Amino acid sequence: MANTNLFESIRGALLPSTDAVNGEGAPAYRRTPEGALALYAATGCLNGTFYATDETQLATVLMLASQVSPAFVARAAVYAREVAHMKDMPALLLATLSLRDPDLFAAAFPRVVTNGRMLRNVVQILRSGRVGRKSLGSRPKRLVQEWIANASTDALVAAAVGQRPSLADVIRMVHPKPADAEREALYAWIVGRPYREEALPATVQAYEAFKREPTGPLPELPFQYYTSLPLTREHWTTLARRASWQTLRMNLNTFARNGVFEDASVAAEVATRLRDPAAIARARVFPYQLLMAYRAAASLPPAITEALQDAMEVATRQVARIAGNVTVAVDVSGSMASPVTGYRRGSTTAARCVDVAALVAASLLRTNPNARVLPFDTEVRDIRLNPRDSVVTQAGQLAALCGGGTSVSAPLARLNKDKAKVDLVVLVSDNESWRDTRGGATQTMREWSRLKARCPDARLVCIDLQPYTTSQTVEREDVLHVGGFSDAVFELLSAHVGGGSAERWTQRIEAIEL
């Protein structure tokens, strides 16, 4: 009798054999260059990940960028900045165009360089030699000059915060021509050259006067200008009231240490700002950033911690209600304990991949309370979640399971074992499966084929949280690949389950107009 393990009959379309290996050396499918670059654009932070160093990630991005059209690189850079809300990756992709297609570089520049930090990122990458040049070149230099010349006083003062390079370094490189005496004095103030104080913008004059005698009202300058000055509690309260939403979230403990929340009315005022839906939308906050803020706020007044929970509910409510039987498979294996934005000495985030994956599941469960949640490592881990619990509570319960090897096929095998009726499976993982490997197709594709034989209209959405060039599934009509931490993931998910010929992730990027 033939070996049934080798010659098992598979219903449905013939499955493709693997053509690559993943970070664990296990069989996998190679992504297309466009698909891989899209994933790096949406999740790559140019830091070390569980399976790759920062140098490896940089080399991979440069290789992928050279394999796709310059137009796709430009659109991926814009997508990474405007939709995925990334910082270093859009700057890198833009920089690669400076030699390859200067016209596309110029077209994408204003879409990517939206503030001083992005300007400094692009300049640093261009001068590093890693994209083929060690100087700006004439067109990049002119674009940088124009950005500085056209920036408002507030934008330049904000851009002057930060180093390597500082805005002062950039101004020294490109020598922007001041349009008037005020701009001439401002450039001199930024770079540390002698200036006429009376010619400075009024807010900067007031700041210089405040530094000499730190009493009275605070001039309206960015928060960072005041952190090293001797301030009173009233000054810190003013800073809390003025701070942008993101600055407020990031500095709650700083404000607490300086007595801001000792006044219950101020704490209530800050709480109101934190839970304001319009402010949350403008801040482009990632839900995992709110989760980290909540965890770090244990010693803050209840009004603040409750507001952060409310903000989480607001930030995750964009998830649509999905008709039919929904299953969310959450990877809780050991590699998912790595920082979601990678390792970087001195600035590694406390947010782990498993935290983000758990938030995706909890968000889907919030709007789809009958969804089935299947945490897995090498097998499905049984857990009972209460859909009425907060997103923060549910995410914490899922993340607490983290550890073990990885079998991405495990949740699909469980659904097949249970003969479950399925309309949608959302699989959130780093896709580094290795405990379920065998020849031919991946076990994940085998299990998906079995599920499709039972539920022919079922769809699979694979949400990737780490930038790797392989996957455990092949993208096709019923299988969507998408990556990242932003709301765009849920928008694509909703489009995919709508039926018909859903738009591919890479097609969304290719449709961006420059």
Residue 13: what pLDDT?
Answer: 53
Residue 386 placed within a domain: yes
- When pLDDT is cut at 50, 70 and 90, the band that residue 2 belongs to is low
Helix (H) / strand (E) containing 156: helix 153-159
Q: Is residue 452 in some structural domain?
A: yes
- Mean of the pLDDT values across residues 167-181? 95
CB-based contacts of 401, cutoff 8 Å, min separation 6: 332, 375, 377, 381, 383
Q: Is residue 247 part of a domain?
A: no
Strands (E), 224-325: none
CA distance 477 to 490: 18
Q: Which phi and psi (to 5°) does residue 255 adopt?
A: -65, -40
Q: How many structural domains does the chain have?
A: 1
* Domain of 354, in residue numbers: 318-510
Find out whether the peptide bond into 165 is cis, omega within 30 degrees of 0: yes
d(CA 198, CA 506): 53
Query: Tens digits of per-residue pLDDT, 262-290?
Result: 999 999 999 999 999 999 988 888 788 88
pLDDT at 403: 87
pLDDT at 4 over 80: no
pLDDT digits (tens, 9 = 90+) for 137-157: 899 999 999 999 999 999 999
Gap between the Cα atoms of 464 and 259, Å rounded: 42
Residue 443 belongs to some domain of the structure: yes
Residue 295 has what pLDDT? 85
| pLDDT tens-digit readout, 304-330 | 999 999 998 888 776 778 888 999 999
* 111 assigned to some structural domain: no
Span 70-99, mean pLDDT?
95
- Residue range 292-299: average pLDDT? 86
Q: What is the mean pLDDT of the chain?
A: 90
CATH label of the domain that carries residue 501: 3.40.50.410
Query: The whole model's pTM is what?
Result: 0.89
Q: Which of 12-16, 257-261, 404-408 is predicted with the least confidence, judged by mean pLDDT?
A: 12-16
pLDDT band at 12 (very low <50, low <70, confident <90, very high): very low
Q: Collapsing DSSP states into helix, strand and coil, what is residue 450?
A: helix
| Cβ within 8 Å of residue 230, ≥6 positions away | 214
Q: Is residue 505 part of a domain?
A: yes
Residue 433 within a domain: yes
Q: Which two tokens stand for residue 201?
A: 């913008």
User: Which tens digit of pLDDT belongs to each residue from 434-489?
Assistant: 999 888 899 999 999 999 999 999 999 999 989 899 999 999 989 999 888 776 78
Q: Assess if residue 391 is contained within a domain.
A: yes
Give me the pLDDT at residue 498, please: 63
